[in-house]
């Protein structure tokens, strides 16, 4: 218990120390606030413009969440198809793996062209990013079942359907979750890059806008909210994993 508290407290102390050094450095070297604002100023701006930040933050969150749901549906579907059919596996799996080397971020301008300045292009961006780790990990998980356990189920006269749901699916869950965890933080970056390239809302849009007006405090504040968003989503997934995969410690 004590060590768990320390696990939280110690990093926070380091963070605080960095903040203090930063604050002092800005004062001592007289750095102009439109180049590097002090943490104090950032916090003040964050508080003053909280409504604005939350509005754009919610847009970004919505994009990530919708993208995630799309990726979940398509990714798990494709993973099951790859698992179930040799044909699908041989024709699609190499492409899925190879496509991971394509820098999706670089395709952002195209996505804006195809899916518009609205939320759609960012949803697609986030979805594409979470999609691959979900597919790859779920396929791996579905195949991870112990052959002896499968043989046992056969001897118990289980149907292929029973073997799938009683052994393969639970076995795949931890893999599935690690795929999601890989994807979730990166998908936030994906949505933001989409917003940079072309949007009227969202934290990425806010950052570009504020940067142009030398409101650097607001840029930092947006980055802060984005980080919280990423951490929050990761924690949410971890919490869900703890509920759905309680046997893993």
Partner 1 sequence: MNSQRPITAESNEPPLLEVEGLGMTFGHGPEALPVLEDVRLRLGQGECVALIGPSGCGKSTFFNVLAGLVRPNDGKIRLRGRPADSLRGIVAYMQQKDLLLPWRKMLDNAVLGLEIQGAPRSEARRRARELLEVFGLDGFEDRYPDELSGGMRQRVALVRTILCGKNIWLLDEPFGALDAITRREMQRWLLKAFSRFKASVLLVTHDVEEALLLADRVYVMTARPGRIRADLDVPLDRPRRVTQSEMVRLKEELLDLLESRPEGEA
Residues that bind partner 1 (CB under 8 A): 146, 148-149, 151-158, 162, 166-167, 170-171, 173, 245-249
CA–chain centroid gap for 124, Å, is 13
State in angstroms the smallest separation of the CB of 147 from partner 1.
Answer: 10
Least spacing, CB of residue 178 vs partner 1, in Å: 16
Shorter beta-carbon distance to partner 1: residue 2 or 249 = 249
Least distance (Å) from partner 1 to the CB of residue 138? 16
Closer residue to partner 1 (CB): 52 or 173: 173
Cβ nearer to partner 1, comparing 127 with 153: 153
Alpha-carbon span 64 to 200, nearest angstrom: 16
Q: Give dist(CA 50, CA 43) in Å, integer.
A: 10
**What is the DSSP track for 166-211?**
IIIHHHHHHHHHHHHHHHHHHHHHHHHHHHHHS-SSSHHHHHHHHH
Rank residues 98 and 155 by Cβ distance to partner 1 and give the closer one. Answer: 155
Return the number of other C-beta atoms located less than 10 Å from residue 60's C-beta.
28
- Cβ proximity to partner 1: between 113 and 151 the closer is 151
Cβ atoms of residues 142 and 89 within 8 Å: no
Q: In whole angstroms, give the CA distance from residue 35 to residue 17.
A: 21
Min CB(170)–partner 1 separation in Å: 4
Task: Name 186's Cβ contacts closer than 8 Å, sequence gap at least 6.
Answer: 129, 130
Smallest separation (angstroms) from partner 1 to the CB of 180: 18
In the complex, minimum distance from the CB of residue 240 to partner 1, in angstroms, rounded to a whole number: 15
> Please, which residue, 150 or 189, has the CB nearer to partner 1?
150
Residue 196 · residue 207 · CB < 8 Å: yes
Encoded tokens for 163:
């073997």
Instruction: Using DSSP, state whether 211 is helix, strand or coil.
Output: helix
Q: Which residue's structure tokens are 């999706």?
A: 104
């Amino acid at each position: 218990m004590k060590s768990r508290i320390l696990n939280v407290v110690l990093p926070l102390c380091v963070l605080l120390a960095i903040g203090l050094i930063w604050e002092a450095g800005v004062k001592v070297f007289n750095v102009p606030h439109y180049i590097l604002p002090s943490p104090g100023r950032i916090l003040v701006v964050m508080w003053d413009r909280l409504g604005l930040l939350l509005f754009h933050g919610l847009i970004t969150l919505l994009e990530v969440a919708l993208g995630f749901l799309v990726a979940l549906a398509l990714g798990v579907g494709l993973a099951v198809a790859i698992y179930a059919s040799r044909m699908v596996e041989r024709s699609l799996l190499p492409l899925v793996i190879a496509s991971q080397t394509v820098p999706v971020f670089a395709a952002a301008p195209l996505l804006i062209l195809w899916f518009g300045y609205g939320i759609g292009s960012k949803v697609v961006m986030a979805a594409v990013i979470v999609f691959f780790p979900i597919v790859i990990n779920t396929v791996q998980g579905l195949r991870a079942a112990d052959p002896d356990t499968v043989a046992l189920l056969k001897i118990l006269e289980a149907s292929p359907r029973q073997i799938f749901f009683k052994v393969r699916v639970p076995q795949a869950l931890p893999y599935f979750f690690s795929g999601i965890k890989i994807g979730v933080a990166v998908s936030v970056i994906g949505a933001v890059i989409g917003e940079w390239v072309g949007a009227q809302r969202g934290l990425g849009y806010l950052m570009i806008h504020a940067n142009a007006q030398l409101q650097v405090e607001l840029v930092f504040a947006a980055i802060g909210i984005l980080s919280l968003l990423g951490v929050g989503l990761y924690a949410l997934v971890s919490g869900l994993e703890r509920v759905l995969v309680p046997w893993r410690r």
